[in-house]
Amino acid sequence: MPSNTISFVHSERVIEIRNPNPNETLLNFVRTKLKKTGTKEGCAEGGCGACTIVLGELKDNNIIYTAINSCITFLPTLNGKQLILVEDLISKDNSLHPVQEAMIKCHGSQCGFCTPGFIMSLFSMFKNYSKLKEDVIKDSIAGNLCRCTGYKPIIKAAKSLRTKNKIDHFVKNKKQIIALLKKIGNESIAIYKKDKKYFAPRYVAELKKILKKNSKSKLLSGGTDLSLVVTKDRKDIESIVYMNSIKELNYIKKNSKYIEVGATTSLSNFEIYIKKYYPDFNKILKRYGSVQIRNVATIAGNIATASPIGDNLPLLLALDSQIVLQDIKKSKILPINDFFINYRKTKLKEGQFIHSIRIPILVKNIFKAYKISKRFDDDISSVCAAFNLIIEKNKIKEIKIAYGGMAAVPKRAVYCERVLLNSSITKTVIDKAKNALEKDFSPISDMRASGNYRKIVAKNLLEKCFLEINEKKLIGIHS
């Protein structure tokens, strides 16, 4: 029987909440119910990092620590986890955590607003990495905004942690926390609260039964898109089915033909795995939101939003990936190219869910992808492009090109592909292909970029791709 009570570990004790409000954010709960006001609200949309907290989760008799944005996390998803707030970093004898000490010593804190979030991001980094290289440090705080550009002292503080003793009070208390996490387990949850419902099944079979009776429910994975309905649009979500407690769907496996990514796999885990096969996929994911976002967000969620600027989507389109859809009775495999119908509309039907994504392993192919956005980190694309091709004796034998940000849906550039297929790579051919993009796309102007800018950028990215292939080197300020 599913429980209507969520249980989590905080401050070395188990806290139980009966019938929590499914639409309440974790940030609101922490500040107004736990009365811990160290965690701040800045943007309420996952973009500033002021609300960063860390979750501890059991894995193979160990605790995995992940930084997340509490402003876009619904309270019931805390079930079965350890909640770590900035107030919890200080030891019982009142001594500061090494991260806090480092921030003070290096003058990393100028205001009380962003500092708790930075501390929590650095704490998560401190727990997860043995070597604190420059790129790890920058990645770890890319989702935390300091409005007065105090980054240098914060980076200095992070670097000073390289020599710090790793034995903090979390290491000392680990056995006790593991025992508590094991004790509370991770039961299936079913909450009926006034006009709202929330389900967190643990198995696919359970999910199907829930969807049979509640086919209009909203599926919630990382919530980095869906939660904004509540925090920004100020609307309620009546019925939620939380996917991320289904461990059965949290996997990455491969055979000789494709890599299969289960729907509840986080982007953080996927970005590490995909690097070996498609380094450019990894490069794009490194610039996808922030660590806090990627720790919970999924490819399945990104696909289901069908956002024209969803960064995974042009890459998956160019790689000719497939989506495994499942409903109560059967599953179906669909090429991703057939999935998007119109602006934020897909072929997904009520009661159906994305089970997994299959990405072909193409050993002979060249795969390149580029993201253009106003800021390098933690920003949405103006244009995203992906190129997948085989060249033999200077002739293009196979080509698939896809763009995001150029139409109402992420889309293949079929006219451009036709010009390039079976052609030699010459300036004339590339120019023709660039012109063909005009036939493929009529991008709109919005706050991110004008339509004209998008057209020019799309053409330039095509040229850049072939320049890089010809010259066998990367071109750009970050290469």
Ligand X SMILES: Cc1cc2nc3c(=O)[nH]c(=O)nc-3n(C[C@H](O)[C@H](O)[C@H](O)COP(=O)(O)OP(=O)(O)OC[C@H]3O[C@@H](n4cnc5c(N)ncnc54)[C@H](O)[C@@H]3O)c2cc1C
Among 73, 71, 165, CA closest to 126: 165
302 binds, among ligand FES, ligand X, none (CB under 5 to 8 A by kind): ligand X
Closest distance of CB 46 from ligand X, Å: 3
225 binds, among ligand FES, ligand X, none (CB under 5 to 8 A by kind): ligand X
Query: Which of 304, 319, 357, 391: binder of ligand X (CB under 6 A)?
Result: 304
The dihedrals phi and psi of 261, each to the nearest 5 degrees, come to -110, 115
Closest distance of CB 109 from ligand FES, Å: 6
The DSSP result for 411-428, as a single string, is EE-HHHHHHHTT-B--HH
Q: State yes or no: residue 147 binds ligand FES (CB under 6 A).
A: yes
Rg (CA), the chain: 23
The owner of tokens 């034998």 is: 397
Sheet holding 258-262, edge to edge: 252-254, 258-262, 353-360, 322-326, 331-335
- Chain position whose Cβ is nearest to ligand FES: 71
The DSSP result for 138-195, as a single string, is HHHHTT---TT--HHHHHHHHHHGGGS----HHHHTHHHHHHHHHHHTT--EEEEETT
As a whole number of angstroms, the distance between CA 468 and CA 368 comes to 9
Query: Which of 28, 224, 231, 265: binder of ligand X (CB under 6 A)?
Result: 224
Helix boundaries (H) for 7-50: 26-28
Sheet holding 395-404, edge to edge: 366-372, 383-392, 395-404, 411-412
H or E segment and range at residue 367:
strand 366-372
Closest distance of CB 446 from ligand FES, Å: 22
Q: State yes or no: residue 263 binds ligand X (CB under 6 A).
A: yes
CB-nearer residue toward ligand FES: 30 or 372: 30
443 binds, among ligand FES, ligand X, none (CB under 5 to 8 A by kind): none
As a whole number of angstroms, the distance between CA 80 and CA 202 comes to 12
Q: State yes or no: residue 215 binds ligand FES (CB under 6 A).
A: no
The dihedrals phi and psi of 255, each to the nearest 5 degrees, come to -125, -160
Q: State yes or no: residue 289 binds ligand FES (CB under 6 A).
A: no
Closest distance of CB 222 from ligand X, Å: 3
Query: Which of 96, 111, 333, 341: binder of ligand FES (CB under 6 A)?
Result: 111
Question: Count residues contacting ligand X (CB under 6 A)?
Answer: 31
CB-nearer residue toward ligand FES: 54 or 63: 54
Residues 6 or more apart whose Cβ sits within 8 Å of residue 18? 4, 5
CB-nearer residue toward ligand X: 95 or 331: 331
CB-nearer residue toward ligand X: 263 or 336: 263
Q: State yes or no: residue 301 binds ligand X (CB under 6 A).
A: yes
Whether the Cβ atoms of residue 386 and residue 319 lie closer than 8 Å to each other: yes
The encoded tokens of residue 203 equal 């198995």
Among 319, 327, 324, 328, CA closest to 368: 319
Q: State yes or no: residue 391 binds ligand FES (CB under 6 A).
A: no
Closest distance of CB 222 from ligand FES, Å: 14
As a whole number of angstroms, the distance between CA 53 and CA 87 comes to 10
- Chain position whose Cβ is nearest to ligand X: 301
Query: Which of 79, 109, 302, 388: binder of ligand X (CB under 6 A)?
Result: 302
Q: State yes or no: residue 370 binds ligand X (CB under 6 A).
A: no
Over the window 34 to 63, marking each residue x when it contacts ligand FES by CB under 6 A and - when it does not, the resulting string is: -------xxxx-xxxxxx------------
Closest distance of CB 294 from ligand X, Å: 8
Q: Which residue ranges make up the site for ligand X (CB under 6 A)?
A: 45-47, 72, 218-226, 243, 263, 288-289, 293, 297-298, 300-302, 304-305, 310-311, 348, 353-354, 380
Q: Which residue ranges make up the site for ligand FES (CB under 6 A)?
A: 41-44, 46-51, 69, 71, 110-111, 113-115, 146-148, 150
